[in-house]
Amino acid sequence: MTARSRGSLAAALAVYVVALALRPAQTAVGPVLGDIGADLGLGEGALGLLGALPLLGFAAVSPLVHRLSRRWGAEGTLLAALAGLVIGVVVRSWTGAPGLWLGTAVIGATVAIGNVLVPVIVKRDLPDRIAVATGAYSAVIAGAAAIGAAVAVPLAEIGTWRLSLGVWAAPFAVIVVVWWLRTRVAHDPAATVAEAHLAHASTWRSGTAWLVTAFMGLQATSFYVLVTWLPTIEASLGVSAHTAGIHLFVYQIVGIGGGLLIPFAMRPSSQVGAAVTATVPLGIGMAGLLAAPGAPLVWITIAGVGSGASLVMSLSLMSLRGRTSAETTQLSGMAQSVGYLLAAAGPVVAGVLAQSTGSWTPTLVLLLAFAAGQLAVGVAVGVDRRTGAAGSAATASENAEGPS
C-alpha cells in the first residue's frame, strides 16, 4: 500500500468515526420522551418541540459553517464541534430542565457543523471515491442512529432517562480524541483559507445550488414525515403498534442497503440515472400504500430503499457540484439549512393535514407529490449545467482527480 493510499484510508476511517457521533444523541431521545415528560412535567407540545429542536438547530447553524471553516479550517471547526457535542450531552442530561433545552440546542448546533463539513472533507480527501465514500459514511450514520434508538429504553430501565442520554458523552469524548489526532496530520488550514477567496459568488444566487437544495429538502422532508407518522398511518390501516414499530425499523435498516448501492448507479459525467433510481422507489412505496394498503411491509421496504439512496444522492451532489472546498462548504450549508427547515416543518404539516381531513390519505398523496417533485429536480440537477453537454468528457476526465 502506497503512502497516498494509506493517507486516503486514514482519512476515510476518521470520517467514519465522526459519523458515529452525528445521530445517536438525537435518535436516543424519542424512545424516552415519555420518561422525560413525566419527570419534568412537560406536555406533548413541549416534548414535540424538544424533538424538533435539533432540526431547527441544523437549519439555523448550517449557513454559518463556511465562515467558521474559513477562520479555523475544516478540521479545527469540526474538532470544536465534537467537543461542544460532548458538553451538550452532559448539560442536557444532568443540569435540570433549563439544561435540557440548552443542551439540546447545543447538540443541534454542533451536529449541524458535522453534517456540513463531512461532505467537504470527503471531497477534499477522497475526490475519486466521493459517491462510494458518501454511501459508506451514510451507512455508518444510519447504523449509529439505529443503535442510539435501540439502547435508549434498556439504558433508561437500568438507570433513568438521564443515564440513557448522558452515557453518549463517553464514546463521543473518545471520538474527540481520535479527530484531534487526525488534525495533527490534516491539510494546512491556511490552504483552505486561501482557497476560500476563489469563491466570490454566493451559492444563494446559484441555480445549481437551489436544485441541490431542493433535492435535499424533498428527501429529508419525506424521511422525517415517515419516521414521525408511519406507525400512526399503519395504525389507521389496522396494523398493531408492535408490528408498526418493526416496520419502521425495517424502513430505516433497508435504507442502509439503498445508500450503499446507489453509488454504483452514478456516472462521472451524469448522475441523472442515479437520481431517478433513488427517487422512483419512494413514489412506488407511497403509491402502493394508497392503492394496496393490505401489504404495507412491501411498500415500506421499497420506500426505505429509496430513502437511503436519496440521502446518499443528496450528500454526493453537495460534493460533486462544489468546485472548491470553500464552495462545497457553502453549498452544503445552504442545502442542509433549507432542507432541515423543511424537514422540521414536514411532520407538523402532515399532522395538521391528517387532523383537518380525518384521514392519512392526503398525507400519502402529499408524499407522492414530494417524490414526483424530487424526480423532476433529480433529472435537472443530475448533469452539471455549468460545464454544459460539450464539457461532459472533460468533467469525466477531471473526476479521476476530483469533481470540479
Please report, for the domain that includes residue 172, its CATH number: 1.20.1250.20
Q: Which three cell numbers stand for residue 380?
A: 435537472
Q: What is the mean pLDDT of the chain?
A: 85
244 and 160 within one domain? no
Vertex 82 angle, CA 76 and 84, to 5°:
105
Return d(Cα 290, Cα 218) in angstroms, integer: 20
337 and 277 within one domain? yes
Q: Which of 133-137, 194-198, 221-225 has the lowest mean pLDDT?
A: 194-198
Evaluate whether residue 2 is within a structural domain: no
**Is pLDDT above 60 for 3?**
no
pLDDT at position 392 is 37
Evaluate whether residue 144 is within a structural domain: yes
**Is pLDDT above 80 for 7?**
no
**Is pLDDT above 60 for 120?**
yes
Total structural domains within the chain: 2
- Residue 307: other Cβ atoms inside 10 A: 26
Q: Residue 68: CB partners within 8 Å, gap ≥ 6?
A: 77, 113
Note down the domain range covering 129: 7-197
394 and 313 within one domain? yes
Evaluate whether residue 295 is within a structural domain: yes
Q: Which of the residue ranges 147-156, 301-310, 325-334 has the most confident prediction, judged by mean pLDDT? A: 301-310
209 and 177 within one domain? no
Evaluate whether residue 293 is within a structural domain: yes
Evaluate whether residue 308 is within a structural domain: yes
157 and 219 within one domain? no
**Is pLDDT above 90 for 362?**
yes
Model confidence at 142, pLDDT cuts 50, 70, 90, reads confident
Evaluate whether residue 1 is within a structural domain: no
Q: Which of 42-51, 138-147, 230-239, 314-323 has the lowest mean pLDDT?
A: 42-51
| Three-class secondary structure of residue 240 per DSSP | coil
**Is pLDDT above 60 for 389?**
no
pLDDT tens-digit profile of 166-197? 999 999 999 999 999 888 765 544 444 444 44
pTM value? 0.80
Residue with cell 472533507: 121
Evaluate whether residue 143 is within a structural domain: yes
Query: Counting Cβ atoms within 10 Å, is residue 83 exposed (0-12), middle (13-18) or buried (19+)?
Result: middle
Q: What is the mean pLDDT of residues 64-93?
A: 93
225 and 181 within one domain? no
Residue 300 CA to its chain's centroid (Å): 20
Vertex 100 angle, CA 99 and 101, to 5°:
90
Q: What is the mean pLDDT of residues 375-403?
A: 58
| Three-class secondary structure of residue 239 per DSSP | coil
